[in-house]
Structure 1
Amino acid sequence: MIFENISVKNLNSLANDPDVIIVDLRDEADYIKMHVKNAININNDKLFKSLEKLDKNKTIVLYCERGSLSLIAAKKLSEMGYRVKTVIGGINMYKARYLK
């Protein structure tokens, strides 16, 4: 399967969609400091042990600090049959665009 790369603008538009699960792959301390609206926190190291939190009937949107870890995770999840999107530039791009 293939996953889609999206911009932070697209991420904001998905934040209230009930058919989307936004996953912050950073550690809990970083998530607590700041995260995208309605995102859940599943540390990248625990993602594949926490698949019960991810509904295959929903679109999974992943982001990390800069976007590199989410790309790797998106590839693996898409190969497992999940509909996945990943955020270009991660939370750093989000901060640069929306938290000036």
Structure 2
Amino acid sequence: METISAREIDRYIFDKNYLLVDVRNPSEYRKQHIRGAVCVPREYLLQRVRGFGKIIPVLYCDRGGLSMQAARELEEYGYRAISVVGGIQAYNGRYLESDLKKR
């Protein structure tokens, strides 16, 4: 399984060959997410990945465990996926969007 560190996320955000996917639930996504990411909860990921075409999903969650499980599952079905080690908690980039900042 491919992994990247949270420091590497920014290079994937605007690359059209990759799609940043938040595998947490929608309420967690709304509270805080990385700009450009789509929310696809893990339980729906296998259904949705078929629509990604050749785009490679870069998966993240809160701390990295859920995204690693999701990446392994996708690979079992023949899909390529990348998991972010440490998840959004390890990300300190400039593209972090948060409900807390809006208040």
TM-score (norm 2): 0.81
Instruction: Give 1:87's aligned amino acid.
Output: V
2:34 matches 1:36: yes
Residue matched to 2:100: none
Task: Give 1:83-94 correspondences, 5 Å limit.
Answer: 83-94=80-91
* 1:9-48 CA distance string (max 9 Å, x none): 2111100001101110111111112211211000112222
Number of positions where the alignment pairs a residue of Structure 1 with one of Structure 2: 94
Q: Of 44, 48, 65, which aligns to 1:68?
A: 65
Q: Residue in 2 aligned with 1:17? A: 15
Q: Which residue identity is paired with 2:39?
A: N
Answer 1 or 2: which has greater strand percent: 2
Partner of 2:99: none
Q: Whole-Å Cα distance in 2 between the matches of residues 10 and 84 of structure 1?
A: 15
Identity, % of aligned positions: 35
The DSSP-based 3-state class of the residue aligned with 1:35 is strand
TM-score by length of 1: 0.83
User: Is 2:81 the counterpart of 1:80?
Assistant: no
SS at match of 1:49: helix
Which residue is 1:49 aligned to? 47
Please give the root-mean-square deviation of Cα atoms over the aligned residues, in Å. 1.5
